[in-house]
Amino acid sequence: MTGHDAYRGLPGDERKTMTTRGARDLVRPLRWPLVAALPVGLLVLTFAYPIALMFARSLTDFVHPDDAGLANYEWFLTTPAQITILQRTVTASLLVTGLCALIGFPYAYLMTVVGFRWRMLLLGAVLMPFWTSLIVRTYSWLILLGDSGPVTGALRSLGFGEVRLVGTTSAVVIGMTQVLLPFFILPLYARLLQIDRALLRAAQIHGASPATAFRTIYLPLATPGITSGATIVFIVSLGFYFTPALLGSPQNSLLSQQIVEQVSRLLAFGRGGAMALVLLVLTLALLGLGALLTRRFTKALGIGSEAR
């Protein structure tokens, strides 16, 4: 997810001299777009067209035959029950993002200061759940947080009485935090690695206490990593389906559960499409905002890739 700039490694002029010097290429420079025709064709047919059609239907497909125009959007953004779901989704996503930041920052920080073996161990722990099935992980939480699971058992023996966790938003937030933590730690770790720790020592030589040096030097330098990690976590949690579907309950469902409900149970494609468009606009706007913030912090601090 952080690799969007992967192709911008070569400066433009260098690239140009390379292609002109390589006299007989397999493909002439002007024909390169044609090479991408097949993959682009597949994406247009099975990705772009379906999404465009879905949005078109959100303007033409109505539950009540006498509705017209933006009725689906009006329904979604004015029905109290839907507003509650939207609010709950944003709150849960904010909670997950906050928890990921609180847990992920010390973790990523430690990864940059320990020796090789410790670092590999910590990195492995982050990467391992990254590639194990999402449903398997959610199912594990179902066992752990379930009524006969160890967590409720521990709470019971601590005197909390009968606590129900599965079906609550707390269970959803716990599960989502564990699932999304790697998305926060990995980009932050990449940023923290770039911080020159000599700056901290310099601040301390000039009389700053370790805490002040950390707050005024290290934390601002880490901010771009925090914003990019938080953006990814927040966006992914907005669109999460399986974890809330299994650990939550229909009574406190989140946005994506509602979308699925509208489409697959009620066959209200128009309403589902309208909700999906709101989710997509929200996602893209946040992605843009996150990129903007990250870039602004990076620029203000002069820690762009050229300064490394």
Instruction: Decide whether 110 or 301 has the Cβ nearer to another protein.
Output: 110
Within 13 Å of residue 122, how many CA atoms lie on the same side as its CB? 19
**Residue 1: HSE in the Cβ half-sphere, 13 Å Cα cutoff:** 19
Of 143 and 300, which CB lies nearer to another protein in the complex structure?
A: 143
Joined tokens for residue 171: 């269970």
Residue 263's identity, in one-letter code, is: V
Instruction: Give me the amino acid identity at 232.
Output: I
Q: How far is the CB of 302 from another protein (least distance, A)?
A: 25
Give the whole-angstrom CA distance, residue 148 versus residue 262: 33
Task: Give the angle subtended at the CA of 32 by the CAs of 29 and 35, to the nearest 5°.
Answer: 155
Residue 104 Cβ, how far from another protein at the closest point, in Å? 8
Place of tokens 């990129």: 291
* Distance of closest approach, residue 127 Cβ to another protein, in angstroms: 8
Backbone angles phi, psi at 189, to 5 degrees: -60, -45
Of 7 and 66, the one with the shorter C-beta distance to another protein is 7
Q: Which residue has the tokens 């907005």?
A: 238
Shortest Cβ distance from residue 71 to another protein (Å)?
19
CB of 157 to another protein, least distance (A): 15
Pick the closer one to another protein by CB: 25 or 196. 25
